[in-house]
Copies of this chain bind each other. A is one copy, B any other.
């Protein structure tokens, strides 16, 4: 458990005081640096000790067979697992023959600081070796947002007290030992020695290693170069062999003297390019970075982030830990997506090997709405990645005897990698999630090229899938039977409300877009008849209602199922349920892992009345256990909407502190990017009440008791809109745009705001329609501390 004592709350940095082996792996995820293209965990410079060493290249994976004791038609035969690639972070230090290792000697001071505005990870250590020599090490690490192939470290050693012989070894190491993963099915299977050496070379202070993976046949190159500055005249020597490269710098430092090593590392990878081409690519990237120089890299990094924060920052008054957490969350969301550039945004970003490094639906549903409003280019790129895998999705649909495109439940490259179809293939909602994300981007950016080239084909092929997947029954309604919705504690159900509603929108928006771009639609062989059949299905989509209560229900017949016996479930050891009860029993009972109907009420909120939302929320609260990190933020959003503001804040805190407090006990495997995005959603869509139903941007701001103010910015088409919320009123300002006139809604009332005239509107009172909802025994969220920290 990471505590506030060791992680004091500060608005713009994550600071860790002291050193603790037990939480090392978690801290490595929290301090991971990435630009979406490459990512390195926050491992200590010296490599040892470590929780889980990790360096990742987006979409660089190894395939492995997926075993089935009883195979079935259409089961994927091979999976993809992210590979821990050549470690370029490593800088070992020898002090008077004594390896610098925190497990020995005495740690006088240890501090790490993740600077969210500068995009840097700082470390300061003062250490007394077992022999009594005192040294100070300062390091600063960055993964460049501007030069996507580049990681760099400035490493400084200073002798204190006595003179010291110091040797610094800067390395590239392939096939590091990775600790064995746990038996938890959610933790990714480990791979050992995935890299096969192809070429190694060294010259001066520069060296490179080229490897390929055995089965997926991907090739990668890593190269490093060094700049040394010292108060003395150090020796420098570089050695390379197949598995590692090492530049050694040795000198003798008098007290107060320093040795400073600046290390530049570049990565390149490809499924097609030759050894020579990759070698040249990483050398070129390295030369550019060395030419840029350390100081200028820092400037670029800072400017890039300044631009981001200008349009993305959220200011929270009244809860400092949420202020910190939402910035930490936005920073990791940016790190995951900034330079992914038509590669996937995995559930853990590039911060750890969790979920095998796969991307899921939560990218489109939780992460892209945040990027759409804060870094729209990254969001469009993520969907262009989906579009680039269209051939695989079309083929998968054919394998499943369906029409259109069936995107994979979990994947790195685009092939379906889910080995458990009831919670994989059957979760077809991912196709609507992708389609609606594309449609959202069209509305938010107004980017016609994106609409034509990317959104239209995504919407058309997924609409085709839905039309083939559903059927119009004898009751005249469009039914989608036997699918799995977002709640993974229910599966293979008929008429999942979330699925049906998002599929209907998918069909309708596909029809809209096809009519808007008739030539491009014709090129996709879309006919007027097909468009009509999409509209018809969307029109009559089945929305199950519990006949006894009149409430919407998660799936047809769901509310008639037996309720899980929460009282009989061990509050401490009994969760997550999936580790303690068979799927069989979980699926057939009323117990919700994560928001499903409630998620529909967020993204398709205009399909429900306010009363339905309030009453259904109260009903589902009683059976929702939040065994998924994707739940609390959505519960926060709907709790806020229905006026349960204290409850909303408890859920918001849970989502926002998921990784900083390691609430799911698996932050070691990487941060929960979607939940981190969820803290933004909870603030902006919850307290800001922001919705974009039918392309209409609307707000319904209302603060919880814990907050005294909230301010955020969203990029809407050509403009930036800043919303500043106080206890009684909200102020809307258009920034950046010239002569912009926006037609927005405030608590259901249309209003106009221009770049000239900000608008301030009163927050109306709300009278909740239900008492504060209750949760299953032991599963209520943690109350907000009276003095939030």
Which positions in A face B, CB cutoff 8 Å? Answer: 66-74, 79, 183, 185, 399-402, 418-422, 425-426, 471, 473-475, 479, 481-483, 491-492, 494, 548, 556-557, 560-562, 578-585, 587-589
Distance in angstroms from A30 CB to nearest chain B CB is: 27
Distance in angstroms from A566 CB to nearest chain B CB is: 13
Given contacts A422-B422, A494-B557, A557-B557, contact A481 B562 (CB under 8 A): yes
Are A584 and B482 in contact, CB atoms less than 8 angstroms apart? Answer: yes
Which residue of the partner chain B has the closest CB to A578?
B73
Are B557 and A421 in contact, CB atoms less than 8 angstroms apart? Answer: no
Given contacts A481-B562, A557-B556, A560-B473, contact A70 B420 (CB under 8 A): yes
Are B69 and A582 in contact, CB atoms less than 8 angstroms apart? Answer: no
Inside 8 A of A481's CB, which chain B residues have their CB?
Answer: 561-562, 588-589
Are B579 and A73 in contact, CB atoms less than 8 angstroms apart? Answer: yes
Which residue of the partner chain B has the closest CB to A423?
B70
Are B400 and A585 in contact, CB atoms less than 8 angstroms apart? Answer: yes
Are A73 and B581 in contact, CB atoms less than 8 angstroms apart? Answer: yes
Known contacts A401-B582, A421-B584; 17 additional CB pairs below 8 A are A68-B185, A69-B79, A70-B418, A70-B419, A72-B583, A74-B581, A422-B422, A425-B584, A474-B560, A479-B560, A479-B562, A481-B561, A482-B561, A492-B584, A492-B587, A492-B588, A494-B561
Compute how far the CA of A79 lies from the CA of B72 in the bound complex, rounded to whole angstroms.
18
Are A67 and B67 in contact, CB atoms less than 8 angstroms apart? Answer: yes
Compute how far the CA of A149 lies from the CA of B420 in the bound complex, rounded to whole angstroms.
44
Are A583 and B474 in contact, CB atoms less than 8 angstroms apart? Answer: no
Distance in angstroms from A280 CB to nearest chain B CB is: 39
Compute how far the CA of A482 lies from the CA of B401 in the bound complex, rounded to whole angstroms.
26
Q: 20 A-B Cβ contacts within 8 A?
A: A66-B69, A68-B68, A68-B185, A68-B419, A70-B420, A72-B185, A72-B420, A73-B578, A73-B581, A74-B582, A400-B582, A401-B585, A402-B585, A421-B582, A426-B584, A474-B548, A479-B560, A482-B584, A491-B492, A494-B588
Given contacts A481-B588, A581-B401, contact A562 B471 (CB under 8 A): yes
Are A72 and B582 in contact, CB atoms less than 8 angstroms apart? Answer: yes
Inside 8 A of A578's CB, which chain B residues have their CB?
Answer: 72-73
Compute how far the CA of A580 lies from the CA of B73 in the bound complex, rounded to whole angstroms.
6
Compute how far the CA of A581 lies from the CA of B75 in the bound complex, rounded to whole angstroms.
10
> Looking at A475, A479, A548, A562, which has the most chain B CB atoms within 10 Å of its CB?
A562
Inside 8 A of A399's CB, which chain B residues have their CB?
Answer: 582
Distance in angstroms from A468 CB to nearest chain B CB is: 10
Determine which of B70, B79, B419 lies in contact with A185 in the assembled complex, contact meaning CB atoms within 8 Å.
Answer: B70
Inside 8 A of A400's CB, which chain B residues have their CB?
Answer: 582, 584-585
Distance in angstroms from A183 CB to nearest chain B CB is: 8
Distance in angstroms from A571 CB to nearest chain B CB is: 16
Are B425 and A71 in contact, CB atoms less than 8 angstroms apart? Answer: no
Given contacts A421-B582, A492-B492, A492-B587, contact A69 B67 (CB under 8 A): yes
Which residue of the partner chain B has the closest CB to A65?
B69
Compute how far the CA of A183 lies from the CA of B77 in the bound complex, rounded to whole angstroms.
13
Distance in angstroms from A573 CB to nearest chain B CB is: 13
Distance in angstroms from A327 CB to nearest chain B CB is: 35
Distance in angstroms from A776 CB to nearest chain B CB is: 16
Compute how far the CA of A608 lies from the CA of B11 in the bound complex, rounded to whole angstroms.
72
Compute how far the CA of A425 lies from the CA of B584 in the bound complex, rounded to whole angstroms.
8
Are A587 and B71 in contact, CB atoms less than 8 angstroms apart? Answer: no
> Looking at A422, A483, A588, which has the most chain B CB atoms within 10 Å of its CB?
A588
Compute how far the CA of A444 lies from the CA of B679 in the bound complex, rounded to whole angstroms.
68
